[in-house]
Structure 1
Amino acid sequence: MTRTAVIVGGGIGGLAAAIGLHRTGWEVTVLERVGALRPVGAGLVLQANGLRCLDALGVGTRVRSDGYEDVTGGTRLPDGRWLARISAGELEQALGTPAIGIHRAALHQILLDALPLGALVTGAEVVRVTEDGEVTQREPGTGREHTVNADLVVGADGIRSAVRGALWPEAAAPSYVGVTAWRGVTPVRTRDPVVGITWDRGAEFGIVPLADQRVYWFAALNTAPGEPRGDEKARVLTRFGRWHDPIPELIEATTDVLRDDLACLDTPLPTYVKGRVALLGDAAHAMVPNLGQGGNQALEDAVVLAAVAHRRDGLQAYDRLRRPRSQRVAKASRAVGHLGQQLSNPVAVAARNALVRVTPPRLALRSMARFADWHPPSLD
């Protein structure tokens, strides 16, 4: 008898879980709240662990062809001076695979193309979920409600997860971390920029080349809660427009500047599983982006869940395998954020910069790369 899985949320983690479960024999349905999927978001960096997960899902080759392999980069100061540099290929030598910069919309489309026909249902507002696998959705337009009973329900519906809210009412709400982030993608780059991070007191700017001659960039700034929105591009230019080249050029060349007031699940969940329901990705362990592991951890969740879900103790095994690691990565991301972008005391900033200068780049690389040194289980 075919087992059925309903995945709530059609983002990267939800689609990856659907693909993995389908590959292991499940009949899958993905319920996505938005009525029509559009290319959205900016870029992300797929590290070795995420790329290996995509290989396990059968889409790694296409991801690599649509992505841009890591190049020489490092950490700089706003005037352009280098604190540390890492040559191209060192990450690949350390882990056996390079990091890949890719537009989030491109990765999303690759995953959509790998779904079984008819698996995605858009405009599906989930209004009720129970531990025994009942999922009630409200049909768009008519308002009628429709309930199905699944062998497995996956809450992959993001940091403000309706599934988590329904079944984990005791869980703490997401916490604002005191940082606003802006993201953008340039239409076309005129030269190859150097990938890397630039640090200032309470601010940072990152540059990631993409495969289609565009550049993904992000900026982050310590901010008080509740600051009003406005002309976000102008605000980024005001704060970062005098930093080293090509930062002003990248901001000027960007049409749409996205803003996010960063939040995370600071209080770890005691379990990712209740009854037939499992949480993954941001619904389970939303983290700050300072290690670049958010999307990669969601991919790990998806592959591990697909590998163990058929077992009698499948969801307990998933929780046992995923919760300690993902929460450890989330905690480390928070710590790196405090040391890097969020650090604002001038004495502490000077001490940090001096430490980075004298730390051998390979040692620093190993300390960061240990989070990406992970291998997924096989789905064959």
Structure 2
Amino acid sequence: MGSQKRFRVIVVGGGVGGLAAAHAFEKAGIDHIVLERGEIAPARGASIGIYPHGARILQQFGTLQAVDDETYPIERAKNFLPDGSLIANSELFRFLRQYHGYPIPVLERRRFLEIMYDGLSDKSLIKSHSKVVDIIDSEDNVKVILADGTVEEGDLVLGVDGVHSLVRSLMWRNANAAIPGFITANEKKTLHADYSLLIGFSETGSHMSPSDLYCTHYDGKSFLTIGGKKHTFWFVFFKNDRVHWPALPKWTQADAERRAAECMDCPISETQVFGELWKTAIRTELVNVEEGLFEHMFFGRVVLAGDAVHKMTPNIGLGGNSAMESVVVLTNLLHKAIQEHPEGKPDKAAIQNLLHEYQKDRQVRMRQFIDFSSLATKIQAWETTWYKILSRVIPFLPDDTFAKQASILFKAAPKLDFIPVPGDLKGSVKWDDDVLEAKYRESFPRPSISDWVRSMFRYTFKPALSLCILWVFLVIRSSKASEATISN
């Protein structure tokens, strides 16, 4: 290779996606640096849940055991009405563990970031308090300018700097400067919020099992409460009028306290009201619940992953797992391209080709995740009468109904394809990338949007319609019985 520099990736953002990228690039032997504007593992956010497809990636990183040691896996999901009465007690999470072999832990987000950071071999590649102010994209390289005047030079910039991504804005600017109108006003408005979210965690009490998840339905509002080994995590969703970027509001702690005051006497289970959690809260925050999938995930030598480009509502908890997925897909493509080039440095044409492939892969899969998450948000908060009906029908379905649908999504997930999964836990459902037989692939195809529509019709709409017809029949029969009684 002579004196030619190695292929280098500049990662902007030191959160879940950024630290996952550091692990993935470390495993792939790809030169990189991670720039975080603040501190690593800040005291922000509440929790992160790790589903089987994310757990398999963490197993490759070598951090899964430390995550599992922090908490108990979620096993049961219970649903409650506004009066606190129980309407569903589901074994969903046990089925997912049976299908894929991995438990589903939920832990404090900051602790997760600490585990990810501690698991890195070379921590000198993680630079905190490194604020990016500009990106200069050229034919031969890309330069990232920091607030202190430092210039980082590389071959690719990976923006995993969250929903308010500066990298995304700079990429848009560079794209429209090079090709006027490339990024349209409509694409910039992709990101929107229909809900705000009060998040926090409290001291673990005796009010719920550390392996339970509670969902409490209200009209235009919902509560999610998750038991943990050390903390109880909670989320309160409020339906608002839709707002698009860049007009998303900024909430203050006073706003959080005002929202909390509205909910103090709201039951969240048969024995507890929200005010009991609020009294023991360790940290709270009011945020927007943004969602959106951007059309362009890259331009030039800049590519995006995570919330910066595929933001989903957090009701199911797929966001962090999706960020890790995207990082893995990109790493696999980069590793292959570097191996295929004799000097280990793909040219710009090769980079563009692999970024197109990355975008094509992510667009399809992230659309499924975003739609799935959005549906859960609407059902849980009874956004309309129809979603309210669905929430009452779902408890009558077998516990494995939604576990099977989720499993179809999870088993199609990527992993690092150039190293094994050490001690891979096996479930009753095989991962797509572990299966070569065409017969099995045909029996479990990757789900499309039409698949989801058919599944929802089969498992939800048809039962809902049947129950509605039954309800009308019972009302009519009751009415006739009453008339007969009166006439007698």
| TM more than 0.5 | yes
* Partner residue of 1:72 out of 73, 76, 87: 76
Q: Distance in 1 between matches of 2:250 and 2:335?
A: 47
Letter in 2 for 1:150: G
SS in 2 for 1:223: strand
Partner amino acid for 2:396?
A: V
Name the structure 2 match of 1:331.
371
1:184 equivalent in alignment to 2:192: no
Contact 2:190/2:294, CA 8 A, preserved across alignment = no
CA distance in 1, matches of 2:251, 2:44: 23
Q: Secondary structure at the match of 2:188?
A: coil
Aligned in 2, Cα 1:195/1:290: closer, same or farther, shift over 3 Å? Answer: closer
1:308 corresponds to which letter in structure 2?
L
Q: State the AA in 2 paired with 1:252.
A: K
> Which whole-Å CA distance do the structure 2 matches of 1:7 and 1:323 have between them?
21
Q: Counterpart of 2:55? A: 51
Please state whether the residue corresponding to 1:256 is helix, strand or coil: strand
**Alignment partners' CA distance in 2, 1:6 and 1:100:** 31
Please list the CA deviations of residues 118-139 of structure 1 after superposition, one character each: whole Å capped at 9, or x if unmatched.
1111221212224444233334
1:97 is matched with 102
Question: Contact between 1:92 and 1:98, CA under 8 Å: does it hold in 2?
Answer: yes
**Distance in 2 of aligned mates of 1:55 and 1:301:** 16
1:209 aligned to 2:227? yes
Structure 1 residue 237: deviation in Å?
4.3
Asked if the contact 1:201/1:349 (under 8 Å) is kept, the reply is no
Q: Which range moved further: 153-162 or 122-131?
A: 122-131
Deviations 1:203-235 (A, max 9, x none): 1111112232x1111111113465974262453
Q: Distance in 2 between matches of 1:228 and 1:64?
A: 33
Question: CA separation of 1:205/1:125 partners in 2, compared to 1, >3 Å: closer, same or farther?
Answer: same
Which residue matches 2:470? none
Aligned to 2:43: 39
Partner in structure 1 of residue 214 of structure 2? 196
Give the direction of change, closer, same or farther, for the CA distance of 1:257–1:24 in structure 2 (3 Å limit).
same
Cα 1:360–1:29 shift into 2, 3 Å: same
C-alpha distance in structure 2 between counterparts of 1:36 and 1:71, whole Å: 31
Q: Which position in structure 1 is the counterpart of 2:288?
A: 261
1:368 and 1:36 mapped to 2: Cα distance?
Answer: 32
Residues 1:24 and 2:28 aligned together: yes
Distance 1:379 1:252, change over 3 A: farther
Q: In the aligned structure 1, how far is the partner of 2:25 from the partner of 2:250?
A: 42
AA partner of residue 144 (structure 2) = T
Q: Which moved more, 1:100-109 or 1:28-37?
A: 28-37
Q: Which residue identity does 2:279 align to in structure 1?
A: E
**SS across alignment from 2:217:** strand
- Judging changes above 3 Å, is the alpha-carbon distance between structure 1 residues 135 and 196 closer, same or farther for their aligned structure 2 residues? farther
Match of 1:82 among 81, 86, 90: 86
Q: Secondary structure at the match of 1:337?
A: helix
Q: CA deviation at 1:36?
A: 6.5
Question: Which deviates the most, 26-35 or 13-22?
Answer: 26-35
CA distance in structure 1 between the aligned counterparts of 2:222 and 2:214, rounded to whole angstroms: 10
Counterpart for residue 239 of structure 2? 222
Per-residue deviation at 1:37?
4.9
- How far apart in 2 are the matches of 1:103 and 1:324? 30
Offset, 1:356 = 1.7
Per-residue CA shift, 1:244-287, capped at 9, x if unaligned? 3334322221143211022222xx33332323322110111111
Cα distance in 1 for residues equivalent to 2:251 and 2:31: 45
Structure 2 equivalent of residue 150 of structure 1:
154
Change (3 A) 1:301 1:247: farther
Residues in 2 aligned to 1:370 and 1:305: alpha-carbon distance in whole angstroms: 22
Alignment of 1:343-358 (within 5 A): 343-345=382-384, 347-348=385-386, 350-358=388-396
Relative contact order higher in (CA < 8 Å, ≥ 6 apart): 1
Compute the displacement of 1:35 (Å): 5.2
Contact 1:83–1:356 (Cα < 8 Å) also in 2? no
> SS of the counterpart of 1:207?
strand
Q: Give the corresponding residue for 1:241.
A: 265
Alpha-carbon separation, structure 2, partners of 1:360 and 1:323: 31
CA separation of 1:21 and 1:247: change in aligned 2, threshold 3 A: farther
> Retained in 2: the 8 A contact 1:69–1:98?
yes
Cα RMSD, aligned residues only: 2.4
SS at match of 1:263: strand
Range with bigger deviation, 116-125 or 75-84: 75-84
Query: Would you say how many aligned residue pairs link Structure 1 and Structure 2?
Result: 371
Distance 1:373 1:78, change over 3 A: farther
Indicate yes or no: 2:359 matched with 1:359: no
Distance in 1, Cα, partners of 2:136 & 2:228: 42
Change (3 A) 1:152 1:121: same
1:234 and 1:71, CA in 2 relative to 1: closer, same or farther beyond 3 A? farther
Pair 1:319 & 2:359 matched: yes
Unaligned runs of 5+ residues in structure 2 are 174-182, 244-248, 338-352, 420-488
How far apart, in 2, do the equivalents of 1:240 and 1:338 lie?
23
Larger helix proportion, structure 1 or 2?
A: 2
SS in 1 for 2:237: strand
TM (norm. structure 2) is 0.70
CA-CA distance at 1:38 after TM superposition? 2.9
Work out whether residues 32 and 125 of structure 1, in 8 Å CA contact, stay in contact via their aligned partners in 2.
yes
Give the TM-score normalised by the residue count of structure 1.
0.89
Query: Cα 1:174–1:11, aligned 2, differ >3 Å: closer, same or farther?
Result: farther
2:72–2:229 Cα contact (<8 Å) kept: yes
